[in-house]
Amino acid sequence: MDVRILLQEEGFLVVDKPAGLPSQATPDPSRRHLIPAVHALLGETLPLTLVHRLDADTSGLLVLCADPSLNGWFTDLFRERRAHKTYRAMVGLPPCVSAQDLPEMMDDHLAPVPGSKPKKMQVVRAGGQRAHTSVRVLEHWPRCLTLHLEPRTGRTHQLRVQLASRNYPILGDRLYGQRERSAPFAPRLMLHAERLRFPHPSGTGEVDVMSAAPEVFLADYLRA
């Protein structure tokens, strides 16, 4: 699956990033990342700036600023949490827990695991940065749940860490996932940024874009 442009307006684009494509350049210069992929799709080189990020293994919606005069506006938009993001996730359901144990609000403080490479985060009792996420169960299957997630903060690996710390690891998460035999195997990280809403930079109206979850989220074997 390649990157798709879902909305292109003067000054910005909303793109649908596939899983496996990094949002930004990596230490490996041969590895393709988002902005060159978008340039290739457009057939021209625009002054694109990434104003927020998704983990490489997460798919879904991202905004790219295409007008340098709007960079500050978009930076403030996301820093002030005036852009609303929702995600779809599939999480493992180990025998020791149930869907009823999952809170409607996850409120934690996160901090890096010292010395971890690649960078890994953890829930801490003191210090760190607050991470706040609302949760709704969409589907309940024998070995997994499909969740609607709305992060109210934007911390590194926020959704992955908060769910794993509660014994609901996102399927396919090789960094935080728990190797439960009862959880179905997933070929990728089952996390998708499916909706993005924010005020239009013109000051009139709202941008509201949705991306359907990839077909792998509908695989029958995950629900068996």
- The answer to whether 108 is a known catalytic residue is no
pLDDT mean across residues, the chain = 91
Ranking 29-33, 45-49, 158-162, 176-180 by mean pLDDT, the lowest is: 176-180
Length of the chain measured in residues: 224
pLDDT tens track for 134-160: 999 999 988 899 999 999 999 999 999
Helices (H), ranges, 71-167: 71-79, 158-165
Q: Which domains does the chain have, with CATH numbers?
A: 4-223 (3.30.2350.10)
Question: Of 16, 55, 67, 107, which one is the catalytic site residue?
Answer: 55
Tokens coding 88: 């779809």
Residue 84, amino acid = H
Residue 32 has pLDDT above 90, yes or no: no
Q: Return d(Cα 75, Cα 96) in angstroms, integer.
A: 42
E strands, the chain, are 4-9, 12-17, 49-50, 59-65, 84-92, 105-112, 121-123, 129-140, 144-151, 191-199, 206-210
**Cβ density class 4-15: b for 16+ within 10 Å, e for less:** eeeeeeebbbbb
Cα separation of 153 and 170, whole Å? 19
- The model's pLDDT over 194-211, given as tens digits with 9 standing for 90+, comes to 999 999 999 889 999 999
pLDDT of residue 179: 60
Whether pLDDT at 67 is above 90: yes
State pTM to two decimals. Answer: 0.93
Q: Is the peptide bond before 68 cis (omega within 30 degrees of 0)?
A: no
72-90 pLDDT, tens digit per residue, is 999 999 999 999 999 999 9
pLDDT at 4: 96
Kindly tell me if the per-residue pLDDT of 91 is higher than 90: yes
What is the C-alpha R_g of the chain?
A: 18
**Range in 2-11, 74-83, 120-129, 179-188 the model is least confident about:** 179-188
Q: Per mean pLDDT, which range of 9-13, 119-123, 153-157, 174-178 is the poorest? A: 174-178
Q: What is the pLDDT of residue 93?
A: 84
CB burial of 16-35 (b: ≥16 within 10 Å; e: otherwise) equals bbbbebbbeeeeeeeeebbb
